[in-house]
Structures are given as structure tokens and as C-alpha cells.
Amino acid sequence: MLKLGVARDFSPDPGPRKASQGQHSGEAFRRLLMRKLAASDLVEVDLDGTSGFGSSWLDEVFGGLIRDEGMSAAEVRRRVRVKSIADETYLFIIEEAINLARPRDAAAPVAA
């Protein structure tokens, strides 16, 4: 298992969703995470030690694995372990992002 600390290996100050919106974006972190996933079947992402995350940053990283990288929700859950001991609210936001994400080319879900 590879370990990837946001504060240690990326930035202590995570920024906006997209790289075009500013520094230390969720999109940039997702690219880093994809490189780690290419090298290891299991990656642990450590969220502790930063100045905080916006829900958009978390959605871009973890929902983006499904929307933009072609992974299934089951594969994300199996291959990416998220550690957030100090602030567990992030785990709920990430779980929601994974649940709601759909692959970009898939048809929108039909409302009941």
C-alpha cells in the first residue's frame, strides 16, 4: 500500500476544484493520486494536517475518479483508503461524492 498525505506530499492549503481556478486544486491532486494508483493497487490518502478542504475539492478528487478516470464506485472504495482522524466530517462528504458521481459519458440517472 502506498501512502499519500495531502499536507505532506501535495500542499497544506488545498485550493479550488479545478486547476484553472487556482493553485493546489482537487484536479491536480487527482492527477497525483492517479499516478500513485498506477503504481499500487491500494493507496491511502491522509487528509489530516491541512488548513481544511472545500467540498468541491473533495468531490473533484474522489467523485472525479468515477466521472473522469473511469473507475467504478466499488473500485474507488477498494483501492483508495481515506484517513481523516482529526476531522471525520470529510469522510461523509467523500462518501456522498462517490455515491453521486456518474461516469461523464453515462446517461443522467432518471428520477423516480
Give the binding site for another protein (CB under 8 A): 13, 15-18, 21-22, 50-57, 85-93, 96
Kindly tell me which of 92 and 104 has the beta carbon lying closer to another protein.
Answer: 92
Please identify which residue in the block is written with the cell numbers 459519458.
105
CA dihedral 85, 18, 28, 51 (to 10 degrees): -30
Closest approach, Cβ 88 to another protein, in A, equals 5
Kindly tell me which of 25 and 36 has the beta carbon lying closer to another protein.
Answer: 25
Closest approach, Cβ 42 to another protein, in A, equals 25
Question: 104 vs 3, 11, 28, 81, 87, CA distance in Å?
Answer: 28, 28, 18, 23, 30
